[in-house]
Amino acid sequence: PSLPASEEGFQPMPSITIRPPDDQHLPTANTCISRLYVPLYSSKQILKQKLLLA
């Protein structure tokens, strides 16, 4: 099999699932289903730091 030539060929579309509040853990992902799991961080600054670190 080969990759689609454009974005339209990818299914399903990526999604984000918000997890319970937790400033200690990094975001995780399930690449098989194109899903990003992100804890509900207490600030935008922590969100940015964790995304850049992950």
- Taking the C-alpha atoms of 49, 15, 18 and 23 in order, what is their torsion angle to the nearest 10 degrees? -20
Residue 2 falls in the annotated catalytic set: no
Q: Which of 3, 32, 33, 53 is catalytic?
A: 32
Q: Give the separation between CA 26 and CA 9, rounded to whole angstroms.
A: 30
Residues acting as catalytic residues: 32
